[in-house]
Amino acid sequence: MQKLLFALAGGIILLGCAASRPEIPVDRGSVEPGSKVTRGGTTELDLLGPGLKLGDQLPSVSLVDSNLRPVDLSTRRGEVLLVSIVPSLDTQVCERQTHLLGEAKLPPGIRKVTISRDLPFAQQRFANTTGFSDILYLSDFQKAEFGHQSGLLIDRLYLLARSVLVVDRDGTIRYLQVVPELSHLPDLPRAIAAAEALLPGS
């Protein structure tokens, strides 16, 4: 009987550990596009491309939405863009980052965007599963042109570095965070505050 109780207690502990969501650190620092990020705190990875800066326009490249239609974000005007960039939606940190974006209650005039190198079909599956239909999912899967032009393409992995951009209604980048460590989350509340500050009357 005692052995059975110990076994049951052990099972409950194991289930509790499996059910609890591990805490993911939030990074408040940033590195420059075109520089380096780390993976696991030790492995350095180069970011390929010239690199965006505050005050730049978004690069004019063709991304693909979940319906396989080309979208060039550099041509969008009239709304503030809150752009969340993730390596892959199928990983835990990226999923959490996108959940935070999807759960955010934003005022009218701010458009939520997620960019990754996942296939458009995988992005659509994620949208259907989570119900976050107010996010514009865009894929850089074809030639990683957005990654190259922005300085956010990770060498060797050929995924996009975890980042957040805020683009004003004239297409100018007003906020930029490139998370130094791939396993950390960006400071999304600060990016949201930056986006809201760009709305008329703010």
Per-residue pLDDT reduced to its tens digit, 58-89: 999 999 999 999 999 999 999 999 999 999 99
Give the Å distances, CA to CA, from 114 to 46, 87, 97, 126, 127.
22, 11, 10, 11, 11
Q: For the segment 32-66, what is each residue's pLDDT rounded down to a tens digit?
A: 999 999 999 989 999 999 899 999 999 999 999 99
CATH for 62: 3.40.30.10
The arithmetic mean of pLDDT across residues 123-152, rounded, is: 96
Q: Do the domain assignments include residue 88?
A: yes
Is pLDDT at 128 greater than 90 in this prediction?
A: yes
- CA distance linking residue 103 with residue 159, whole number of Å: 24
Angle at 137 between CA 122 and CA 43, to 5 degrees: 75
Q: Which residues are catalytic?
A: 94
Per DSSP, the residues of 88-135 read -TTSHHHHHHHHHHHH----TTEEEEEEESS-HHHHHHHHHHH--TTE
Model pLDDT, residue 21: 60
Mean pLDDT of 8-21: 35
- Which residues span the domain enclosing 17? 2-196
Inside any domain, residue 49: yes
Give the lowest-confidence range in 4-18, 36-50, 124-138, 156-170: 4-18
In this prediction the pTM is 0.88
Q: Are 84 and 97 in contact (CB under 8 A)?
A: yes
**Residue 176 located in a structural domain:** yes
pLDDT over 50 at 185, yes or no? yes
* 202 in a structural domain: no
Asked whether the predicted pLDDT for residue 7 surpasses 50, the reply is no
- Which percentage of the chain shows pLDDT scores above 70? 90
Residue 90, domain member (yes or no): yes
Spatial neighbors of 95 by CB under 8 A, at least 6 apart, are 89, 126
Give the number of residues written for the chain.
202
Quick check: is 113 in a domain?
A: yes
- In the prediction, which pLDDT does 14 show? 30
Residue 53 tokens read as 């800066």
Residue 125, pLDDT score: 95
Q: How far apart are CA 56 and CA 74, in angstroms?
A: 11
Residue 108 lies in a domain: yes
Contacts of 54 (CB under 8 A, 6+ apart): 173, 174, 175, 176
Per the domain annotation, does 201 fall within a domain?
Answer: no
Question: Rounded mean pLDDT of the chain?
Answer: 90
Structure confidence at residue 158 (pLDDT): 97
User: In this structure, are residues 89 and 59 in contact, taking their beta carbons and an 8 Å threshold?
Assistant: no
Number of domains, the chain: 1
Q: What is the pLDDT of residue 113?
A: 98
